[in-house]
Amino acid sequence: MILSLFKFSGRRPKRLADPASVTTIARPPRSPNGVSSHPEAEGSHAIAPLSVAGEPEAALAAVRTAVEQDSGVKVVFVDPSRYLYATYTSKLFGFVDDVEFLVESSENGRSIIGIRSASRVGHSDLGVNRKRLETLRSRLGGD
């Protein structure tokens, strides 16, 4: 097991100080170190929301199962019917990324889940946050 040689965890964003109060997925950061399905996200910051089979509670449970397969992840908060907040910590430098999943709608047996993944520190994430969410999308059987 490789231990973190450094600790670049940064601070949790203020809007996530009380995860139970989150009602919308935030815009992505201005720097190129995150992605979001927020409607105003543009260019390399934009990512499509997840479309997951099942009503909100079942869909979010599937998301949680997929998230927990990753290393360095900690589920910080979950409201089973609407929201999941997790952090990912990199092994070598201890960088922390905040990752959110918010059920936005449910129709015809599928739940649309808004997503956001962003690094707390640094300027570029070298595509790590997008890759993470696209890997989760694939795990969940998404397009």
Mean pLDDT over 85-106 rounds to 90
Give per-residue pLDDT as tens, 81-95: 999 999 999 887 788
pLDDT band for 33, please (50, 70, 90 cuts): confident
Between the CA of residue 35 and those of 1, 29, 48, what are the distances in Å? 29, 8, 10
Between the CA of residue 89 and those of 11, 29, 33, 59, 75, what are the distances in Å? 13, 18, 14, 24, 12
**Mean pLDDT value across the chain:** 86
What is the model's pLDDT at position 93? 76
Give per-residue pLDDT as tens, 41-50: 999 999 999 9
Q: In the predicted model, is pLDDT for residue 3 greater than 70?
A: no
> Torsion angle of alpha carbons 68, 74, 79, 83, nearest 10°?
-80
CATH classification number, 14-139, choose in 3.30.310.80, 3.40.50.10490, 3.90.1150.10, 3.30.2010.10: 3.30.310.80
What is the model's pLDDT at position 124? 73
Site of tokens 């199962």: 65
Give per-residue pLDDT as tens, 49-83: 999 999 999 999 999 999 999 999 999 999 999 99
What is the model's pLDDT at position 8? 56
What is the model's pLDDT at position 80? 93
Return the higher-pLDDT residue of 140 and 92: 140
